Amino acid sequence: MEILDSSVAAEVADKLLEIQAIRLQPENPFTWASGWKSPIYCDNRLSLSFPKVRNLIKEQLVRSVMHYFPDAEAIAGVATAGIPQGALIANDLELPFIYVRSKAKGHGMENMIEGKVSPGQKVVVVEDLVSTGGSSLKAVEDLRKAGFEVLGMVAIFTYGFDIADQNFKNSNTKLICLSHYEALLPRAILKNYITDETLKSLSAWRKDPSSWTP
């Protein structure tokens, strides 16, 4: 995993905190679908409701694609949160847009990939959030099975788990993110969203999320 730019990482973290797309509450943790207790909740879909934040994210994701994947011939969003971000990027770059379902549609054409499937086409995948990378990399696998050449993935935010780094490495998929957990915590301290004491708990979760307790 690579970060596009440290100053962008800080700015994006600030904006996500400001609009409450990211919430930090170690004293009253969230429960993920995996059963993990988490002091952080990230819903980047909220950024779509704030034009200035939406445009900041779009511009930096476009910059990521242009810098790291200049040969891109199409943009693919991961359903569901990656769809609007991907469509915005594709529109700016004047590239075809497709999206990948979590599972094939149960009627009609029963598509897994929506849009024009062009085997051999070089595609960049767009995701809003990367945790372990499981669902994101499933989309990559589905695209490859359909005949696309996946150049890599761009995302808004990642928790930066070691398991995610390993999963992307095993999948031979390059991941570029605008911001990450390491950039978030200093900004949260600076902006008074958390205290130094809270920081200890948040840092402990990042090191061992599966067994963390508040």
**179 has binding-site annotation:** no
- Averaged over successive runs of 10 residues, the pLDDT of the chain (214 residues) comes to 94 98 93 87 97 98 98 97 97 98 62 93 97 94 96 97 94 98 95 90 89 85
Residue 105 assigned to a binding site: yes
Q: What pLDDT, on the 0 to 100 scale, is given for residue 107?
A: 47
- pLDDT value, residue 129: 97
Q: Is 34 annotated as a binding residue?
A: no
How much is the pLDDT for 110? 58
Q: Where are the domains of the chain?
A: 2-197
Q: What pLDDT is attached to residue 208?
A: 87
Half-sphere exposure of 120 (CA within 13 A, CB side): 0
Instruction: Identify whether 198 is preceded by a cis peptide bond (ω within 30 of 0).
Output: no
Which burial class, exposed, middle or buried, applies to 175 when counting CB atoms under 10 A from its CB (0-12, 13-18, 19+)? buried
Does domain 2-197 fall under CATH 3.40.50.2020? My reply is yes
The answer to whether the annotation marks 198 as part of a ligand binding site is: no
Ligand-binding annotation for 160, yes or no, is no
Is 180 known to sit in a ligand binding site? no
129 is in an annotated binding site: yes
What pLDDT, on a 0 to 100 scale, did the predictor assign at position 13?
98
Q: Check residue 105 and give its pLDDT.
A: 57
Handedness of CA 13, 17, 20, 23 (dihedral sign): positive
Q: Is 107 annotated as a binding residue?
A: yes
Q: State yes or no: 106 annotated in a binding site.
A: no
Establish whether 31 is an annotated binding residue. Answer: no
pLDDT at residue 207, rounded to an integer:
85
Please give the model's pTM, rounded to 2 decimal places: 0.94
- Binding residue per annotation — 47? no
Does 59 show up as a binding residue in the annotation? no
Reference 63, options 22, 100, 19, 8; nearest CA is 8
